[in-house]
A and B are shown apart, each in its own frame.
Chain A
């Protein structure tokens, strides 16, 4: 059974415009996408800004209700059976937000450990382990507001791992990270995956997707245009469409697919 099952998933937003928001407009953020993720996979969702990646993730992490379609995580509906899912998953959003900036990294992790019902007996050891994993063991008692963007992002990752989730959702986790930070994060993702955590991530970094993901889905304007392994997607590129035949990258394939609309 797939650990994540998405079928004909649709999400619309009604937005108001004009005086008193009277002019209502429907934005079709996700338009009937389908895919599934197996246990132990690292699965990538790729797409332009506004393609619907974050909206799709938000539906999977029980934050947003689908307009229609099926969205199941660990066999449960992400809308209506949230309680069965929430303590078994976690998520990390890219950027500097998602933490209490006036608290220290350790206090943030302690608080989120409580919200994820981590027993006090294992909590402190787990926090030390995570601070060590993200390379912040010597800065754990410093306020987050004094951290660089990269350090803040690393605390976010520690927060996302606080409950040892079975599935970890990551929305552009390396955004704003310097190359060393991004490399460290990729290692962390590989490490947690090797311990059995299924990872679903979105990224704009094609090198990262190619290196990490077993399969990737490319979304364009809310629709799935391709779903395959990075190697197969690259192999689909014909030599006449690219000058550098000898080293076709996932980025070349992505650009061709998104710009050319050459989907499956």
Chain B
């Protein structure tokens, strides 16, 4: 009862706080438009499948990732600056539930950016969107969101340990988006970078989603199994990381700015 209450209220507080920020509104409403235009112009003369995969889905995923992962990570810093991070960390409620609630809140808001991107792409370029399997598309979307949430938790935990959150966040944002293949197939990357891309759940989530719409990116199981494995691995890493941060933040004293 109390756990669900902590989760729910953390989610609602996060949504109220986040939606009141102009920067988030820009990321939510203007970001999808800009990304869709950039990717749309890049793929204007490409095949219909590529257009759907990298403009309709690509821009949606790009914005979804930016909103979920980087708003969640950025919130750690905002909470640190407003001195609420140390308070929620030292409260009797489990910090993991609080953080999960915040990420759920961001996820719900961020889905708006995904659907807006898809909407803009369809309205602006009118591509022939023929979904291979609606059932598979829904399953892929749910797994993609789960993978993004797990990665967000992992990044947010990692950033709790340091006060230089903004620097790390900005360093990670674009490389991560490119390496996971949101804007182009990872097969275009050098082989060594492809090995790195394979480690991250979003890479497989993106491929699975593409497969469900266009039948690109190989078969279902070839993407589904690595996605499940990499998501579980990152979830376990996040659980392990929590045990470390619970001690280390108190040893290093990084919960607030003082």
CB distance from A86 to the nearest CB of B (A): 4
Q: Report whether A102 and B16 are in contact in the complex, using a CB–CB cutoff of 8 Å.
A: yes
Q: Report whether B82 and A86 are in contact in the complex, using a CB–CB cutoff of 8 Å.
A: no
Name 16 interchain pairs, CB-CB below 8 A, sorted by A: A54-B258, A62-B250, A63-B86, A65-B251, A82-B90, A91-B90, A95-B83, A98-B84, A98-B87, A100-B16, A102-B16, A102-B21, A103-B16, A112-B87, A114-B6, A115-B92
Q: Report whether B9 and A111 are in contact in the complex, using a CB–CB cutoff of 8 Å.
A: yes
CB distance from B142 to the nearest CB of A (A): 28
CB distance from A64 to the nearest CB of B (A): 5
Q: Which residues of A contact B98 (CB under 8 A)?
A: 115
Given A62-B90, A64-B253, A115-B92: A100 in contact with B247 (beta carbons within 8 A):
no
Q: Which residues of A contact B255 (CB under 8 A)?
A: 63
Q: Report whether B83 and A93 are in contact in the complex, using a CB–CB cutoff of 8 Å.
A: yes
Is A184 interfacial (CB 8 A cutoff)? no
Q: Which residues of B contact A58 (CB under 8 A)?
A: 86, 253
CB distance from B55 to the nearest CB of A (A): 35
Q: Report whether A114 and B92 are in contact in the complex, using a CB–CB cutoff of 8 Å.
A: no
- Residues of chain B at the chain A interface (Cβ within 8 Å): 2, 5-6, 9-10, 13, 16-17, 20-21, 81-84, 86-93, 98, 247, 250-251, 253, 255, 258
User: Which of under 10, 10 to 19, 20 to 34, or 35 or more describes the interface residues of A?
Assistant: 20 to 34
Is A110 interfacial (CB 8 A cutoff)? yes
Q: Report whether B88 and A115 are in contact in the complex, using a CB–CB cutoff of 8 Å.
A: yes
Q: Report whether B82 and A97 are in contact in the complex, using a CB–CB cutoff of 8 Å.
A: yes
- Residues of chain A at the chain B interface (Cβ within 8 Å): 13, 54, 58, 61-65, 79, 82-83, 86-87, 91, 93, 95, 97-103, 107, 110-112, 114-117, 120, 163
Q: Which residues of A contact B21 (CB under 8 A)?
A: 102
Contact of B17 among A61, A63, A102, A116 (CB under 8 A): A102
CB distance from B101 to the nearest CB of A (A): 10
Given A65-B251, A98-B83, A100-B84: A116 in contact with B92 (beta carbons within 8 A):
yes
Bound together, the chains give a CA A103 to CA B98 distance in angstroms of 17
Interface of B is mostly: helix
Q: Report whether B258 and A100 are in contact in the complex, using a CB–CB cutoff of 8 Å.
A: no
Q: Which residues of B contact A98 (CB under 8 A)?
A: 82-84, 87
Closest to A29 in B: B253
Contact of B91 among A64, A100, A102, A115 (CB under 8 A): A115
Q: Which residues of B contact A91 (CB under 8 A)?
A: 90
Bound together, the chains give a CA A97 to CA B255 distance in angstroms of 14
Contact of A13 among B86, B88, B253 (CB under 8 A): B253
Given A100-B17, A111-B13: A117 in contact with B93 (beta carbons within 8 A):
yes
Q: Which residues of B contact A63 (CB under 8 A)?
A: 86, 89-90, 250, 255
CB distance from B16 to the nearest CB of A (A): 6
Closest to B87 in A: A98
Q: Report whether B6 and A115 are in contact in the complex, using a CB–CB cutoff of 8 Å.
A: yes
Q: Which residues of B contact A107 (CB under 8 A)?
A: 13, 16
Q: Which residues of B contact A86 (CB under 8 A)?
A: 90-92
Q: Which residues of B contact A13 (CB under 8 A)?
A: 253
CB distance from A38 to the nearest CB of B (A): 24
Q: Report whether B9 and A114 are in contact in the complex, using a CB–CB cutoff of 8 Å.
A: yes
Q: Report whether B250 and A79 are in contact in the complex, using a CB–CB cutoff of 8 Å.
A: yes
Q: Which 6 A-B pairs have the closest CB atoms?
A: A97-B83, A115-B91, A87-B92, A102-B20, A65-B250, A115-B93
Q: Which of B87, B251, B253 has the most CB of A within 10 A?
A: B87
Supplied contacts A58-B86, A97-B82, 16 more A-B pairs, CB within 8 Å = A13-B253, A63-B86, A63-B250, A64-B253, A79-B250, A86-B91, A98-B83, A99-B84, A100-B16, A102-B16, A102-B21, A103-B13, A107-B13, A107-B16, A112-B87, A115-B88
Q: Which residues of A contact B13 (CB under 8 A)?
A: 100, 103, 107, 111
Q: Which of B20, B21, B88, B253 has the most CB of A within 10 A?
A: B253
Q: Which residues of A contact B92 (CB under 8 A)?
A: 83, 86-87, 115-117, 163
Q: Which residues of A contact B90 (CB under 8 A)?
A: 61-63, 82, 86, 91
Bound together, the chains give a CA A142 to CA B74 distance in angstroms of 26
Closest to B7 in A: A114
Q: Which residues of A contact B84 (CB under 8 A)?
A: 97-100
Bound together, the chains give a CA A101 to CA B84 distance in angstroms of 10
Bound together, the chains give a CA A98 to CA B255 distance in angstroms of 12
Q: Report whether B93 and A103 are in contact in the complex, using a CB–CB cutoff of 8 Å.
A: no
Q: Which residues of A contact B82 (CB under 8 A)?
A: 97-101
Q: Which of A86, A101, A112 has the most CB of B within 10 A?
A: A112
CB distance from B248 to the nearest CB of A (A): 9
